[in-house]
A and B are shown apart, each in its own frame.
Chain A
Amino acid sequence: MLLRIARSREGARITHYDLYKVDLSRGLTVLDAIFQIQDNMDESLSFRYSCRGAVCGTCAMLIDKVPRLACRTQVATVKDSKVDMREPFAAITDIPAGWDSDNEILIEPLPNLPILKDLVVDMTAFYDALETMKLWAEPPGSEEPRLQSPEERERIDRYVNCIMCALCYGSCPVNNSKTEYVGPAALAKAYRFYQDSRINERDRFLTSAKAPTGAPLCELIMNCVRVCPKGVAPGGAIRKIKNL
């Protein structure tokens, strides 16, 4: 199998693409494939990784023009798994010269975040939203665990499953055009706290989510729902925030 990989030695922009051939084996993932390249063909190729089991959210990248986790994407079947990206922007629509889309997997850095080197992007803006929106609970400081019914827990289940991989951020046309937008993951997390029956000051999460850099900027394009690897469906939460 051939992989065409975006390169950027100094960061900021993709300077060129390199083409590599990897050996296909049973269950080979895109992450396995790019390790093969780093190990045996080009040691200078940079990319992030950690758990290789789709729980740590580290290896987000643009694969065949769709934001995906490299560890969860099978080389053998990636050509069969189409995702319809609505209102596509330049990183999605620009086709690199020479890409044979039938026979080569195209691998590029996750869009909407500055490129630092090759497939490594600067996640600062994505992480900063968690802090500026204060997305944490204030502990009540009692000695007893609180009660929460299974139904109440179920209301937040979808949102606590978020692994902060930023695929939603990289898929969002609003994040592409408005750098001030906090993005889908942060809003889903705010909604998770707002919906948590145990939280006392839940209104502050709603206020934060409805700030001008938050839910009002969302245009309900729902690419975030299409690319989310954990079924969080941030767009659904944002729609609810907008209606509150």
Chain B
Amino acid sequence: MYSHDILVIGAGLSGLRIAIEVAKDVDVAILSKVHPLRSHSVAAQGGMNASLGEQDSWEAHAFDTVKGSDYLADQDAVEVMARGAPRAVIENEQWGTAFSRTDDGKIAQRPFGGAMFPRTCYAADRTGHNLLHTTFEQASRLGVTFYHEWFLTSLVQSEGKACGVTAIDIATGEIHGIKAKAVVLATGGFGRVYGYSTNALINTGDGAAVALRAGVPLKDMEFVQFHPTTLYPSGILITEGARGEGGYLLNTQGERFMVEYAPKQMELAPRDIVARAIQTEINQGRGFEDSYVHLDLTHLGREKIMERLPGIRDISMFFAGVDPIVSPIPVRPGQHYSMGGIHCDKDGITSLSGLYAVGETACMSVHGANRLGGNSLLETLVFGRLVGQKVKEYVSRDPDVNSCGVEQAAFEMRERLQAILLRESGESPAEIRAQLGEIMDNEVGVFRDQETLESALKAIRFLKERSEKIALARSDTRFNYSLIRALELENTLDLAEVITMTALMRRESRGAHWRTDYPERDDESFLKHSLVTLGDDYLKTEYIDVNLGMFEVKERTY
């Protein structure tokens, strides 16, 4: 029988940072479906925001974040993040992260979208990679226990408290119960609800879906960030840092079209605005092959590109056959980040006692309706530490989990999965996955309206019905990735339904959620977070207040 004080699900930056915070005092383990170094944090490119500059301040960082969020972020949580940012950067520097440097040896900072100061610390264009490897090194130094390549299948609760999980050991195919006094969900985003996404293929929102099924509400799920510049046609991320370093966006007329959309900030307007601008150019016939625009770096010169954006050059050459030193990069918007997630407060506390959430899978909310670039790496490290402290306090009160039925839950999960594996014919998960991706890309994308959202919701519900009858042709137990991917598909379907429902209900345009039929922001009705809770067989929706207080809600222009 597996048992720990704290069980963390997910070994990206959030999960690792939690474990580091508690490892000396309690028995902590991290369960992850991939080896920690393969977590999606590794793919973050541009950087991490912190008000290190003498002219800068945490208040300015907080203001930019709140304005960027279209005033939907909870300002108390934003304050915690902005205040904690310098400490988080310095801590990782001390651990060994090789931040890029200024000539006088200080941590270099670059301009990023929606920020009024060059506030983004970076390690070339491989910031996530550097931070993840460094943070993993520190978790290894502290001897954190890992369940490598285990897949979360359910959350177990008893007497109103989270008390463990069930999970598949992918190597053996065995399903186990793991008991814990507290469970932390740090499973990252759910970009793979969409077909065209910058996200790793593993980003299927397992934690959020499992929480939903356990009766824990999800918040602000309609707010999906579309990154303006993803490499056409693969969808791989091209960092905002490319524009931060001076890159231009050009249409087929050779125009820097951002002048029409954000005359002051131009290419460095926040992501929602730049993504809509690019999509509008493409929709109105000023895109190349009706599919993409150009991100031109050629004027930056070889030296700057090689020093600051070497990874981007590599990616462009290998995945699109373009060398940005001599030719513009083909880019289009694509799903990038999930602002919504598991409803929790700034301490990571969810509605279920003993269950915590942190990082992209959580919604505290620090990003509101639109996240600023450089704030997601920051969120993982600031709140990983703080939520770690809260969880530690919780388990120090020794919550009673003796009656926790993890073995029974594992038995039931075994039966359920056995039934799938024994089904000889049925629906193809690959077909359902492909259709879901198309629906979300085409009907729940950058521009939305009632009619298409209604059609999407209907189609998603039909796919959900079909997914109950999926069959896998072969029933190997060891390393059955077809089974894992089928379970991930169930997770993405559940989340797709919630995203689409909340998008339909929010009859306004705010941040990344743009309704062509309701193009104005409507603070009176919708300066609120949406919450969705799974009832017996229906999804209950409600709205709750935003924590304001520090900054006045204003019109948002750039």
Contact = CB atoms under 8 A, between A and B. Distances in A.
Interface of A: 9, 11, 26-27, 38-40, 42-44, 46-58, 72, 116-118, 120, 123, 127, 130-131, 134-150, 152-153, 156-157, 160-161, 163-164, 193, 196, 198-199
Given A51-B42, A127-B35, A137-B96, A44 B105 contact: no
B453 to A, nearest CB: 28
Given A38-B482, A40-B430, A56-B38, A72 B202 contact: no
B424 to A, nearest CB: 13
Contact of A50 (B94, B98, B200): B200
B534 interface: no
Contact of A163 (B129, B200, B319, B430): B129
What's the dominant secondary structure at chain A's contact region?
Answer: loop
Nearest to B473: A43
A148 B105 contact: yes
Given A116-B171, A143-B90, A146-B93, A134 B141 contact: yes
B479 interface: yes
B442 interface: no
B123 A50 contact: no
A102 B429 CA distance: 34
B300 interface: no
B95 A153 contact: no
What range describes how many residues of B lie at the interface? 35 or more
Contact of A44 (B91, B104, B202, B482): B482
B208 to A, nearest CB: 19
Interface in B307-330: 311, 314-315, 318-320
Given A50-B201, A52-B201, A118-B479, 12 more contacts: A38-B482, A52-B200, A53-B43, A53-B234, A55-B43, A116-B479, A138-B141, A139-B138, A144-B90, A150-B101, A150-B102, A160-B98
Contacts of A137: 94-96, 134, 137
B106 A147 contact: yes
Nearest to B310: A161
A8 to B, nearest CB: 10
B354 to A, nearest CB: 30
Interface in B64-95: 89-91, 93-95
Nearest to A160: B98
Given A120-B479, A136-B138, A55 B129 contact: yes
A42 B474 CA distance: 8
A173 B94 CA distance: 37
Contacts of B201: 49-52
B480 A51 contact: no
Given A56-B38, A160-B123, A50 B95 contact: no
A47 B315 contact: no
A120 B35 CA distance: 13
A139 B141 CA distance: 10
Contacts of A118: 479
Contacts of B540: none
A137 B91 CA distance: 12
Give the most central of A47, A50, A54, A153: most B CB within 10 Å.
Answer: A50
21 contacts: A40-B430, A43-B472, A43-B473, A43-B474, A44-B473, A44-B474, A46-B478, A50-B40, A52-B200, A56-B37, A137-B95, A142-B94, A143-B90, A144-B90, A146-B94, A147-B105, A149-B105, A157-B98, A160-B123, A164-B133, A199-B96
Give the most central of A27, A49, A56: most B CB within 10 Å.
Answer: A56
Contact of A51 (B43, B100, B105, B428): B43
B558 interface: no
